[in-house]
Amino acid sequence: MPAFTFEKISPPARRTPAATAPKKPRGLISQMIDRFAERRARRALQGKRAVRRDEKPAE
């Protein structure tokens, strides 16, 4: 017979926020960075497409 036993301790209950707060609008700097990133991504895609169209099969 064991001299002692281990008790299973249940994890604490998850707390949920009482009321979900509305999200704050994004800051001006974040919006500007998003715009620059989107334009850069578009240019990168256009550059790849242009290269693919200009390539001709080797003869």
Q: Given this model, what pLDDT does residue 42 score?
A: 92
Q: Given this model, what pLDDT does residue 58 score?
A: 58
Q: Given this model, what pLDDT does residue 50 score?
A: 64
Q: Given this model, what pLDDT does residue 45 score?
A: 87
User: d(Cα 9, Cα 12) in Å, to the nearest integer?
Assistant: 9
pLDDT tens digit string along 2-55?
A: 677 778 888 888 877 666 667 777 788 889 999 999 999 999 888 777 655 555
Whole-prediction pTM value? 0.39
Altogether, the residues listed in the chain come to a count of 59
Those residues whose C-beta lies under 8 Å from the C-beta of residue 34, and which sit 6 or more positions away, are: 26
Those residues whose C-beta lies under 8 Å from the C-beta of residue 26, and which sit 6 or more positions away, are: 34
